[in-house]
Amino acid sequence: MKKGISTDLTSANITKVMDVLAATPAQLESLSGSLPEERLRQPLEAGERSFTEDLAHLIHTEDRSSEAIYLALLVEEPLIPDVHPEREWGKLLKFDLLPFSDLLAYFKLRRAVLLRVLTALREEQWSRVIREEGKKRKESVYWRARTIAMHELDHLSDLENKTRRAGL
């Protein structure tokens, strides 16, 4: 089931985004359960990512969006370079080579920092924007936080379906 969060910047929608962001680490931990490291490195279905690769992917995309959020809060309309989270950022950082437990701990730490920053925002700060190289549209802090949340909802739903089908 795909859950949506409106693009409208309202207190209720901010709360929805924050709830998803806060819940994701525990959901990832629950879904990975007590699977051994070798199983976490195996694709859940043919041609698909493993749990470890999926978590690395979530980190890559969250990393780029969080960076944009932090810069928007520090600088007036910063220009973010067009660096693809997976093809370029992920290829450089290679998080998928780390053990799953280390990745999950890193994800949890990053999420705690992001939530601490977002929780402290005044309403007008959610409207601060970034410009991304090659795009005409400016994206707000809310837009980027919502993007993280929606992306994670999709992946959590996908992981839940795959683990159920695999009998894990």
User: 108: how many CB neighbours lie within 10 A of its CB?
Assistant: 15
> Which domain CATH number covers 106?
1.20.120.450
Residue 4 lies in a domain: no
Pairing between β-strand 79-80 and β-strand 129-132 as defined by DSSP bridges: parallel
Q: Please count the structural domains in the chain.
A: 1
- The alpha-carbon radius of gyration of the chain (Å, integer) is 16
Long-range own/partner contacts, residues 30-33 (CB < 8 A, 24 or more apart): 31/156, 31/159, 31/160, 31/163, 32/100, 32/104, 33/168
Which range of residues forms the domain containing residue 122?
11-166
Residue 159 lies in a domain: yes
Residue 117 lies in a domain: yes
Query: What pLDDT score was predicted for residue 2?
Result: 52
- β-bridge mates for residue 4, sequence order: none
Write the pLDDT tens digit of every residue in 83-130: 999 999 999 999 999 999 999 999 999 999 999 999 999 999 999 999
Q: Match 């795959």 to its residue by tokens.
A: 162
